[in-house]
Amino acid sequence: MARWCHILFFMLNLEIDGSMTKRPQQIDIDEYDYLLPDERIAKFPLAERDASKLLVYQQGNISESKFRNLVEYLPAKTLLVRNNTRVVQARVLFFKETGARIEVFCLEPHKPFDYTLAFQQTESCEWLCMIGNLKKWKEGVLTREFPSGNQTVTVTAERISSHGLSHIVRFSWNSTALTFADILDRVGELPIPPYLHRETEESDKETYQTVYAKIEGSVAAPTAGLHFTEAVLRDLEQHGVGSLEVTLHVGAGTFQPVKSKAIGDHAMHSEIISVRKTAIEELLRNLGSVIAVGTTSVRTLESLYFLGRQLILAPDAFRFQVEQWEPYDSEAGYPSTEEALSALLVYMNEHRLDKLNAATRIIIAPGYKFRLVNGIITNFHQPKSTLLLLISAFVGSDWKKIYEYAFNNDFRFLSYGDSSLLLPADKY
């Protein structure tokens, strides 16, 4: 059986090595496909988070352990960077008088644009949303009621405008005592990944959050962090492993497969990042020792470099946004990582900013040069996904070897699945 899986796995990936000589935009996503039967996707988490398997990839070699033993495999003076975003109950169901079920999936705030302000609104706010069963909602206002104390609260949803596949929806409710965060807590559902092919259960409200989740705003969990427990965190601290937190609010686009053949035709979704000045200072002190917990932390850290680069190359045109193909602009200069982070600190000091808020559409694909990240803790990702492209950019064609090992050794895949620690020789 193992030999059959080995042969079939590699039949799907015969052309992978050739992509490394292409421009990133020319990479054929079919070269990043592999066999993933539905039964290999973990539908529920393990009873004990840190009992999950840990694949350790170090200097081209693969070994296997349990996640609770993570500290044994981390290099000396490691600085772990984790994403402290918290998943919100962003899926709201409405039912029309005809019985038609309309799903309104909140993606990001529109008015006010700031997440914290949006969640604090009373009476009304506007969000960019995806809408399920849109053909049944041509016009009109959707209504939903729920009891709150001695009154019945009525929530309405009105479609204001369309933006591609998304829509601006105005939510209104008849209670100044309730914020929009309260509304979502009462009527929203946690949006578990669609590939789990099941309804959200009460247990997901706890298991689909990291133990260090703090800042509300994500519609998907930074799943590499789901393996951490308080015991693991204590173990890391007792062994002198440093840590800091950043924030990237994960968007629904993280679940979108690449549908175009060449990835140059794939549009990356925008995500909001937030990093404190003290975190950037800590990164500067630990360059060369940074291990990112999850691909969301990777995207946050690498985006910091290109924000600093913008300040160095065009300080008067700083736009608080990293564009999709910006990392591959070979015509512009590339300052050192230390120079880029230092430029950010100078800017923040000049503008008296304690925290940097920005947006990123960065795509990390083979050919990308990592600036801050030296190691990654991550789960096993979907075939033909931008996350798999990121892993390939980090470990090269060895991604095939890693995934083949996981497949043949009963690792569980995707969000509730097992994890890996990736330490390429040229980065650690």
CATH number of the domain enclosing 40: 3.40.1780.10
Measured at the CA of 180, the angle between CA 186 and CA 92, to 5 degrees, comes to 50
Please determine, for residue 178, whether its predicted confidence score (pLDDT) is greater than 60.
yes
Of 189, 219, 243, the one marking the end of a domain is 189
Is pLDDT of 13 > 60? no
Query: Does the pLDDT at position 266 exceed 90?
Result: no
Mean pLDDT of 317-334: 88
Q: Is there a domain that residue 194 lies in?
A: no
Residue 156 falls inside a structural domain = yes
Identify whether 225 is part of a domain: yes
| Mean pLDDT value of segment 33-55 | 97
pLDDT at residue 22, rounded to an integer? 62
Predicted confidence at residue 25, as pLDDT, reads: 85
Q: Are 94 and 242 in a shared domain?
A: no
Q: Are residues 176 and 232 in the same domain?
A: no
Same domain, 167 and 22: no
Q: Do residue 181 and residue 229 come from a single domain? A: no
User: What mean pLDDT is reported for the chain?
Assistant: 91
One domain for residues 297 and 317:
yes
User: What pLDDT is recorded for position 210?
Assistant: 98
Is 196 part of a structural domain of the chain? no
pLDDT tens, position by position, 56-96: 999 899 999 999 999 999 999 999 999 999 999 999 999 98
Please give the pLDDT value at position 112: 92
> Which 3 state secondary structure label does DSSP give 22?
coil
Residue 149: give the domain boundaries.
90-189
Q: Residue 122 and residue 72: Cα distance in Å, rounded?
A: 49
Question: How far is 192 from 223, CA to CA, in rounded Å?
Answer: 11
Co-location of 255 and 344 in the same domain = yes
Instruction: Answer with the one of 189, 219, 249 that is the final residue of a domain.
Output: 189
Q: Could you say which of 160, 189, 218 is where a domain stops?
A: 189
Highest mean pLDDT among 13-27, 150-164, 350-364: 350-364
Both 226 and 336 in a single domain?
Answer: yes
Are 256 and 223 within one domain?
yes
- Is residue 424 within 8 Å of residue 395, measured between CB atoms? yes
Same domain for 102 and 74, yes or no, is no
Examine residue 135 and state whether it is found in any structural domain, yes or no. Answer: yes
- Top pLDDT among 109 and 3 is at 109
Q: Is 270's pLDDT higher than 60?
A: yes
The Cα–Cα gap between 81 and 245 comes to 6
Mean pLDDT of 108-128: 92
Note whether 39 and 139 are same-domain residues.
no
Q: What was the pLDDT predicted at 18? A: 36
142 Cβ partners below 8 Å, 6+ apart? Answer: 94, 96, 102, 104, 156, 157, 158
Bridge partners for 219 per DSSP: none
Q: What per-residue confidence (pLDDT) applies to 327?
A: 93
Confidence bin at 16 (pLDDT 50/70/90): very low
Q: Which of 194-198, 270-274, 368-372 holds the top average pLDDT?
A: 368-372
Residue 54 within any structural domain of the chain: yes
State the total domains in the chain: 2
Do 110 and 175 share a structural domain? yes
Tell me the CB-side half-sphere exposure of residue 249, using CA atoms within 13 A.
22
Residue 197 counted as domain residue: no
The model's pTM is 0.90
Same domain, 132 and 239: no
Please state, in angstroms and as integers, the Cα–Cα distance from residue 131 to each residue in 28, 125, 253, 307, following that order.
30, 17, 14, 33
d(CA 191, CA 297): 21
Please indicate, yes or no, if residue 152 is contained in any of the structural domains.
yes
Mean pLDDT, to the nearest integer, of 343-369?
96
